[in-house]
Structure 1
Amino acid sequence: MRLALIADIGGTHVRFALWRDGRPQALRVLATGDYPGPEEAIRAYLAELGLLPDALETACLACAGPVQGDRFRLTNNHWQFGRLALTHALGLRQLLVINDFAAMALGMTALADHERLTIRPGQAATGCPRLVLGPGTGLGVSALLPDGAGGWRVLPGEGGHVDLPLGSAREVALWQVMQRELGHVSAESVLSGGGLLRLYRASCVLDGRAPQFDSAAAVSAAALAGEAGAAAVLEQFCCWLGRVAGNHALTLGARGGVYLTGGMLPHFAGFLQGSGFARCFVDKGVMSDYLEDIPVWLATAEQPGLLGAGLALQAWLERSPA
């Protein structure tokens, strides 16, 4: 029997697995920077398993960026490819390409209760949309819409690139520093790994101090260790995450709840719980009451994007003619 491949392709890493019996198996994580494109990375993954490309029959690639037409270019790395060309190069019968946060959203539908941590308690409204967003190399945003039959449909988008919202004089001043550097300051400009470091440097400029840290990991580690400047930056990061999540929840009507995902947040989950995230999430003036009962969870499951890619592939094959 030929195999099904699933992949979750982000800006920095690609996660590969085989889809068998409704679960990802043979997981491997490769650095996207080590390969010129997905074909070479797929061949390397298969070689590590002792397989040839002709072992594959179908595949689903969940990619960080908008999926439109045959050509695909990832937003935060150098990879680009054509769906038909890649299908032929690998000898596949079928290749499905979806947005990575569409896959992430599908992964949320299969979470067990122990695979999510409550960041903000509330009561999920039955039959209402759910929001999925998370910072990593970029900021992914997607949504789950009830399908009327007890299941969910995914609404992908590029909500990470909305304008960064401003809610205080300090935030205005930080925005001005970053605007001089970037021109357009999107939510992703702050709510991502590179964004946390950018926010730290902008804070140093405002406060007249020399930067001590040169990576997002160093900033968050210092914050958790009690370094005052880094802690203030991480607090601001959490507040901006709350503002952006609240904005999207209002737009979507996401009274079914909000899932936070991505590789960054689990590293400081306790800090996030105690931060101003919840306050900024509901700080919407006359619409604050609308958000008051919406719960927010942090997904702690391993590789939910891969699981979602597998679920997407499975559903697609069930709908496709043999």
Structure 2
Amino acid sequence: MKRALVGDIGGTNARFALWENDRMHSVKVYQTADYTSPEQAIDAYLNDHDLARGALGSVCLAVAGPVDGDAFRFTNNHWRLSRQAFCKTLQVDELLLINDFSAMALGMTRLQPGEFREVCAGQAEAVRPAVVIGPGTGLGVGTLLSLGEGRWMALPGEGGHVDLPVGNAREAAIRQQIEREIGHVSAETVLSGGGLLRLYQAICLLDGHRAVLQTPAAITEAALAGEPLACSVIEQFCRFLGRVAGNNVLTLGARGGVYIVGGVIPRFAELFLNSGFAECFADKGCMSGYFKGVPVWLVTAEFSGLLGAGVALQQKQA
């Protein structure tokens, strides 16, 4: 039987692994900027593992953006893909494309002890939806549903592009400052790697500070070192994330819990755990009591999207 390959392709990184016997192995990460197409990156992966074209029976790629039809254009990088051309070029029998946060949601079903931390205590209701949300290159939002008997459904969506919610005059001023610069302010405009820098710059303009930090990494490093302005930016970032996550819980009735994923939050995990996230998460006026007992976890597992792609492929072939 031919091997299967799973991939998790974001704006910056493309992660690939082999999937055999319900297990993932041989993970390798490539920079999307180094390749002109997913086919070229997968060719590099095959070469690195002494595999030839035609060695793969099935491929499942988790991709950022809505999936429909033969052609797909990646949201946060320069790649494009045609399903038919992909299968012909790599001599693949089957290509399954799924939304990256559908894969991330399915990956939550394979979490192991030590791969998540409690943010808000509670008890997940197994028959209710769970929210999976994560700032990275963009802001991904997915929904996980249990179908019973060990099967799962992940609902795709573009929840990162909802309007950025505000809960007080300060947040309204921040949003207005950003709107003056770029127009429409989505949640992803702030809640992403680039959004962290945009938030810093907006706060500097509002408060009369000189914006000396030039990258999200520099802001994070300064905050971890205790620099007050950078700390206030990280705090506001976490509070906005709490509001967006809480909105999703109300919309979906997501008493199955909330998983915080992505590459941004784990970089300042302790600041996040001690931030106003939980306060803003449940700051919903007359509906604030709804959040009692809804658990929230910070996921630290490295390759949940890849695992979720494997789960999707396995469920399709079952």
Same topology, TM > 0.5: yes
Rounded to whole Å, the distance in 2 between the matches of 1:17 and 1:150 is: 23
Deviation at 1:125, TM superposition (A): 2.1
Local SS of the residue matching 1:6 = strand
- The aligned residue for residue 61 of structure 2 is 61
Paired residues in the alignment total 318
Contact 2:239 2:277 in 1 (8 A): yes
Post-superposition CA distance 1:112-169 (Å, at most 9, x none)? 2322100111222231111101000000100012314454211111000000001111
Partner residue in 2 for 1:14: 14
Following superposition of structure 1 onto structure 2, how do residues 73-222 of structure 1 map, counting pairs within 5 Å?
A: 73-149=73-149, 151-222=151-222
Aligned equivalents of 1:158, 1:24: Cα separation in 2: 27
Work out the CA distance in 2 between the residues paired with 1:112 and 1:289.
30
2:317 is aligned to 317
Letter in 2 for 1:287: M
- The question of whether the paired residues in 2 share the 8 Å contact of 1:177 and 1:202 is answered with yes
Whole-Å separation in 1 of the counterparts to 2:287 and 2:311: 36
Secondary structure of 1:33's match? helix
**What 5-or-longer segments of structure 2 have no aligned partner?**
none
8 Å contact 2:22–2:310 — kept in the other structure?
yes
Give how far 1:268 is off: 1.1
Task: Say if 1:120 and 1:273, in contact at 8 Å, map to a contact too.
Answer: no
Preserved CA contact (<8 Å) 1:129 1:254: yes
User: CA 1:29–1:150 in structure 2 vs 1: closer, same or farther (change >3 Å)?
Assistant: closer
Could you tell me the percent identity over the aligned residues?
A: 58
What is the RMSD computed on CA atoms of the aligned residues? 1.1
Match of 2:39 in 1: 39
Residue identity in the other structure for 2:161: H
Q: Structure 2: how far apart are the matches of 1:38 and 1:60?
A: 12
Q: Which amino acid in 2 is paired with 1:3?
A: R
C-alpha contact (below 8 Å) 2:64/2:101 kept by paired residues? yes
Determine the C-alpha separation between the residues in 1 that align with 2:119 and 2:63.
27
Cross-structure match for 1:290: 290
Mean Cα deviation higher: 125-134 or 195-204: 125-134
What SS does structure 2 have at the residue aligned with 1:29? strand
Task: Give the letter for the 1:69 counterpart.
Answer: G
Superposition deviation, residue 299 in structure 1:
1.0
Q: Post-superposition, which runs of at least 4 consecutive aligned residues in structure 1 deviate over 3 A?
A: 148-151
- Distance across 1 between alignment mates of 2:22 and 2:271: 35
1:204 Cα deviation from its structure 2 partner: 0.7
1:14-51 deviations in Å (ceiling 9; x for gaps): 00111122222111100111111101111111111122
Secondary structure of the structure 2 residue equivalent to 1:309 = helix
Query: Which AA in structure 2 matches 1:110?
Result: R
CA deviation digits over 1:30-87, x for unaligned, max 9?
A: 0111111101111111111122112111100100111111111111111111111111
Q: Distance in 1 between matches of 2:22 and 2:218?
A: 38
Is the Cα–Cα contact under 8 Å of residues 103 and 307 in structure 1 kept in the other structure?
yes
Partner-residue secondary structure (3-state), 1:87: helix
Aligned partners of 2:234, 2:307: CA distance in 1, in Å? 30
Partner SS for 1:263: coil
Which sits farther off after the overlay, 144-153 or 69-78? 144-153
In 2, distance between residues paired with 1:125 and 1:44? 43
For the 8 Å contact 1:133–1:261, the answer to whether it is kept is: yes
Quote the Cα distance in structure 1 between the aligned partners of 2:125 and 2:105: 18
Q: Distance in 1 between matches of 2:108 and 2:164?
A: 26
Instruction: Quote the residue 1:71 is aligned against.
Output: 71
Measure, in 2, the Cα distance between the counterparts of 1:183 and 1:127.
40
Q: CA deviation at 1:199?
A: 0.3
